[in-house]
Structure 1
Amino acid sequence: MKNFFLAVLSLGLFIGSVPLTALLPAPKATPKNIIFILSDDHRYDFMGFTGKVAGLQTPNLDRLAREGAHVQNAFVSTALCSPSRASILSGQYAHTHKVVDNFAPMPKGLTFFPQYLKKAGYQTAFLGKWHMGNTGDQPQPGFDYWLSFKGQGVYYNPTFNINGKQVSHTDSSHTTDLLTDYAVKWLNTVDKKKPFMLYLSHKAVHAMFEPTRRHRGQYRNVPINYPRSMYLTATDTSKIWGPKPSVDPETGALKANVADMPNWVKQQRGSWHGVDYMYHGQIGFNDFYRQYAETLLGVDESVGRVLTWLEANGLSENTMVVYMGDNGFSFGERGLIDKRHAYDESMRVPLLVRCPAVVKPGTKLTSVVQNIDIAPMLLNYAGLPKPAQMQGNSFLPLLAGKTIPWRDRAFYEYYWEVDFPQTPTMFAARTDRYKYIFNYGVWDANELYDLQNDPGEVNNLIRSPQHQDIARQLRGELFTWLETTQGMQIPLNKVQQKRFDHRFKGTY
């Protein structure tokens, strides 16, 4: 009996010396959820908190920036729907994944980040615009739940492919609202003890812009911020390579180096993608601008509904919410609309990341981040390694305030499309000070811009004697990038596509 009491006493002393938590079952790790929200053609400065667009209100995007991180130097590697979306999903450049335009088929064996998440036990869902070559609206690998539509889709009364079944909607249902409805409905079905990944891919704000009925006319009286470069006048040839463009005091037009502006840019202002003949005169610039802003309101409300669901379900802390645009959009700069080109309003995008467990509120990240970095970053957050084929890198440590080796320039590529022959194949390298653009396959000028003195990119310095060294350096870096990433051969689209002749509004 004495030995028994000694044993009990010894055990009591041992227990008293060990923290209570060490004697309890180890708590299960809190699931690291992911919500990725992608918009279409949303340019980087069209958010209320930037203060760049008069009257624009985006309270939910503003909240993401306020409560998380605003990645201020986010760029796509190709400013076109399908290539950019494939880069986001694959972590690869377009010349690697080969989805180089809106018709190119997805090559066999191309693996997207949701497939890795699903294999790791994530509940996964895709809702919205897929828009990649030969895939139509069919369910894709990596997703437990699938909802999509064919091609660009429509803004009103869409037909969705929901897990392989065609479901039509009527009664003036707006696609932005419907996608959010279905997203919230799916979120209500997830097992909250397990991690989930929601990929919400909006059609908005793709042209032609159509806001929800409740947002129509909301910005009818908002003043328009016409870009200074919408109308240019040639400067004195003795000042052709001056440090900064100036304003003509008589006309108010921006005086710039028009002589060295590429001919394809000059000619495009009177085309399908130019301010003087927008979409063959289907709409005027002012209505076009305001309807874009009104259509964006629906996307902002969608973000708000997702955040509300997270709060109501107690999942805000460890859920990473990422908002991004698939490419930017021109609104009159150098007389252009649309995207595709390598100017900042086209290749620069909004990127907001909210995750209280990782990102401090109000973080302003100035590092250069590209769309190829999204997949590695999300996998990193989920605790998964970066697959060897991914060319991007995780910027999660940067979001957490850590210092790591990181790039200081962005690279860009765009491949000529038979549907839009006025825009050439081009490649670009952009640092925080300079941008070099190589226009391939046209008898035209290459471009060099001093972004510090000429943020509007109108004063081409390609013939400036004092800028030849930087032009040569960036050209060399551009081709080194292509060589080291197996991008020296321009991928050709083998599929037969319907060609649209924008001069005559006909097909052949």
Structure 2
Amino acid sequence: MKVRIPLFLALAAAMAGSCQQQNRNTASSSETEGSPEIEIEKIEGAKPLNVVFILADDHRYDAMGFMGKIPGLKTPNMDRMAREGVHVKNAFVSTALCSPSRASILTGQYAHTHTIVDNSAPMPEGLRFFPQYLQEAGYQTAFIGKWHMGNQDDQPQPGFDHWVSFKGQGQYYNPTLNVDGKQVKHADSTYMTDLLTDYAVNWLDSAGSEKPFFLYLSHKANHAEFYPAKRHAGSYANLEIQYPPSMFLTATDSSTVEMPPGFRGPEGPVNKQDIPDWVREQRYSWHGVDYMYHGTIVFDDFYRRYLETLLALDESVGRVLEFLTEKGLAENTVVIYMGDNGFGFGEHGLIDKRHMYEESMRVPLLVWAPGMQFQQHELEKMVQNIDIGPTVLELAGVKTPSPMQGMSFAPLLRGEDIPWRDEVYYEYYWEYAFPQTPTIFGVRTDRYKYIFNHGVWDINEFYDLREDPWEVNNLIRSKAHQDTIKGMVDAMWSWLEETGGMQIPLKRIGHKKFDNRYNGTY
């Protein structure tokens, strides 16, 4: 197997050179005094489309009914998107954490480039979001929902004509929202997912047809702790739990999670010797199945409440699709549904995200566009969160700006054969508040995955995903795979070197200690 240097580097260089040789059809404006001007290059002959981007929180890639992974799970509206549109089967985030991933979506850049590397790092000055380019192209834009990127504020951000958000993670019931700069309190058992959808549909209804629109609907769901809509509470009380085969590999005699009767572990070779120590030790922690959230909930309830919270999210998708259909807007609108990162449910004895295992870095990605002629309803190519901005811009008739490191996958949706990446890259930076997971870098191809556990005295990881989809047979010592491993290691370091990722972007942030070991000091 030959692992190549990231294809996007060559494409970006070619695009930059081409732009210098062509007559530029540009438009520019000053956002605020002292801000750099925004320039766009339009795609000649393109017809701008309306775009709705729906972002879910912590929605893992296989938690959709049509995937068949969870018997009894019902997501009829996501199923409809996949059936009538395109399911991007291999969609990944470059960092499996809320703020860095959301920043990568909005900027089209890796975390080490935009420097929002954790949930506390403030946004740097001059960061450019793709909706700002849309505004310059004549779009009306709205952001509705969870911002949680770079800070905990809810103030309106650049690129959006209409703004509805909340502070931090928000709350599922009776939230207070910032609506265009004003605090609006909601009560009477108002449910966040339903409320955000109300705001979204109302804005779409008022948008008018004079200018194309872009809506960014960013849900709180399905972020922990999970609280379903009251109408959905208990819907999956009798659902059979799907315990992953790797859940009990690191269990000890003192484990608080009992192996269920009839449980079957992973088939094929299992390398228990080379499970990283940090994975073993995290089992009994805030993000481990033996001490989940410090023992405040048991695994089975946790699992079922996640799926019950997902029900309102699916209904939200359905409401948007129905509105567009009923108003005659569907033919000129593209709806994209995505998760900001995945979520673990017991794999390797862990919950949450952050790590580079499949359940963490892999996300759902659906595209619904009745006006587009899809050649296939499943896309196998590897797409990342950094590709969302370039894709939306192309749908709007705007070429990818040079600061973006992602690529538009719109041609792939149309069935065009274009040069595309053979691998995706991953980075996660150790967090002060959740020190159980180390800094991680890595690369994944369509078959292999290499994980570099940085800053800890521990073993690295290499998996053959075709033979070992559960990632339980670490082949890092395998003599037969050393050439492949070396190629992937070289590719990973080349990616970091050539994209400016060789230094961890530290930020001066005060972290208040929250346990009695540090007596409440900083």
Partner secondary structure for residue 481 of structure 1: helix
Residues 216-241 of structure 1 deviation map (CA, whole Å, 9 limit, x = unaligned) = 0000001111100111279xxxxxxx
Alignment of 1:231 onto 2:240: no
Residue 172 of structure 2 corresponds to 155
Alignment of 1:411 onto 2:425: yes
1:471 is displaced (CA, Å) by: 1.2
Aligned residues: 467
Whole-Å separation in 2 of the counterparts to 1:251 and 1:52? 16
Alignment of 1:350 onto 2:369: no
Partner secondary structure for residue 500 of structure 1: coil
Whole-Å separation in 2 of the counterparts to 1:373 and 1:132? 18
Q: Which residue identity is paired with 1:470? A: T
Alignment of 1:103 onto 2:103: no
Alignment of 1:164 onto 2:178: no
Whole-Å separation in 1 of the counterparts to 2:482 and 2:216? 45
The answer to which of 69-78 and 253-262 deviates more is 253-262
Unmatched segments (≥5 aa) in structure 2:
1-44, 252-260
Residue 323 of structure 2 corresponds to 309
1:190 is displaced (CA, Å) by: 0.6
Q: 1:421 to 1:359 in 2, by over 3 A?
A: farther
Residue 504 of structure 2 corresponds to 490
1:74 is displaced (CA, Å) by: 0.3
Residue 213 of structure 2 corresponds to 196
Whole-Å separation in 1 of the counterparts to 2:47 and 2:104? 29
Whole-Å separation in 2 of the counterparts to 1:218 and 1:207? 18
Alignment of 1:479 onto 2:493: yes
Whole-Å separation in 1 of the counterparts to 2:359 and 2:516? 24
Whole-Å separation in 1 of the counterparts to 2:75 and 2:316? 11
Residue 14 of structure 2 corresponds to none
Residue 277 of structure 1 corresponds to 291
Residues 301-323 of structure 1 deviation map (CA, whole Å, 9 limit, x = unaligned) = 00000011101110101100000
Residues 439-475 of structure 1 deviation map (CA, whole Å, 9 limit, x = unaligned) = 0000000000010111001111111121111111111
Partner secondary structure for residue 99 of structure 2: helix
Residue 138 of structure 2 corresponds to 121
1:157 is displaced (CA, Å) by: 0.6
Asked if the contact 1:47–1:62 (Cα under 8 Å) also holds between the matched residues in 2, the reply is: yes
Asked if the contact 1:501–1:507 (Cα under 8 Å) also holds between the matched residues in 2, the reply is: no
Residue 294 of structure 1 corresponds to 308
Partner secondary structure for residue 36 of structure 1: strand
Alignment of 1:34 onto 2:48: no
Q: Aligned to 2:95, which of 61, 68, 78?
A: 78
Matches within 5 A, 1:11-22: none
Q: Which residue identity is paired with 1:297? A: L
Q: 1:196 to 1:251 in 2, by over 3 A?
A: closer
Q: 1:111 to 1:464 in 2, by over 3 A?
A: same
Q: Which residue identity is paired with 2:363? A: V
The answer to which of 196-205 and 133-142 deviates more is 133-142
Whole-Å separation in 1 of the counterparts to 2:138 and 2:111? 29
Alignment of 1:370 onto 2:396: no
1:499 is displaced (CA, Å) by: 3.5
Matches within 5 A, 1:312-323: 312-323=326-337
Whole-Å separation in 1 of the counterparts to 2:493 and 2:113? 15
Asked if the contact 1:419–1:501 (Cα under 8 Å) also holds between the matched residues in 2, the reply is: no
Asked if the contact 2:250–2:349 (Cα under 8 Å) also holds between the matched residues in 1, the reply is: no
Residue 426 of structure 1 corresponds to 440
Whole-Å separation in 2 of the counterparts to 1:464 and 1:389? 40
Q: 1:29 to 1:380 in 2, by over 3 A?
A: closer
Q: Which residue identity is paired with 2:449? A: K
Residue 140 of structure 1 corresponds to 157
Q: Aligned to 1:58, which of 75, 79, 87?
A: 75
Residue 456 of structure 2 corresponds to 442
Whole-Å separation in 2 of the counterparts to 1:257 and 1:362? 38
Q: 1:272 to 1:381 in 2, by over 3 A?
A: same
Whole-Å separation in 1 of the counterparts to 2:517 and 2:219? 30
Partner secondary structure for residue 151 of structure 2: helix
Q: Which residue identity is paired with 2:314? A: D
Matches within 5 A, 1:166-181: 166-181=183-198
Residue 341 of structure 2 corresponds to 327
Partner secondary structure for residue 276 of structure 1: coil
Q: 1:188 to 1:505 in 2, by over 3 A?
A: farther
Residues 33-85 of structure 1 deviation map (CA, whole Å, 9 limit, x = unaligned) = 00000000000000000000111000000000011100000000000000000
1:253 is displaced (CA, Å) by: 3.8
Whole-Å separation in 1 of the counterparts to 2:345 and 2:516? 20
Residues 178-217 of structure 1 deviation map (CA, whole Å, 9 limit, x = unaligned) = 0001111111111123200000000000000000000000
Alignment of 1:258 onto 2:272: yes
1:169 is displaced (CA, Å) by: 0.6
TM-score for the superposition, normalised by structure 1: 0.89
Whole-Å separation in 2 of the counterparts to 1:291 and 1:148? 24
Q: 1:280 to 1:141 in 2, by over 3 A?
A: same
Residue 246 of structure 1 corresponds to none
Q: Which residue identity is paired with 2:472? A: V
Partner secondary structure for residue 293 of structure 1: helix
Partner secondary structure for residue 294 of structure 1: helix
Q: Which residue identity is paired with 1:377? A: T
Partner secondary structure for residue 232 of structure 1: coil
Residue 19 of structure 1 corresponds to none
CA RMSD of aligned residues (A): 1.9
1:495 is displaced (CA, Å) by: 1.9
Residues 154-174 of structure 1 deviation map (CA, whole Å, 9 limit, x = unaligned) = 111100000000000111111
Q: 1:362 to 1:292 in 2, by over 3 A?
A: farther
Q: Which residue identity is paired with 2:453? A: N
Alignment of 1:340 onto 2:354: yes
Q: Answer with 1 or 2: which has the greater Rg.
A: 1
Deviant stretches of 4+, over 3 Å:
28-31, 249-255, 499-508
Asked if the contact 2:250–2:280 (Cα under 8 Å) also holds between the matched residues in 1, the reply is: no
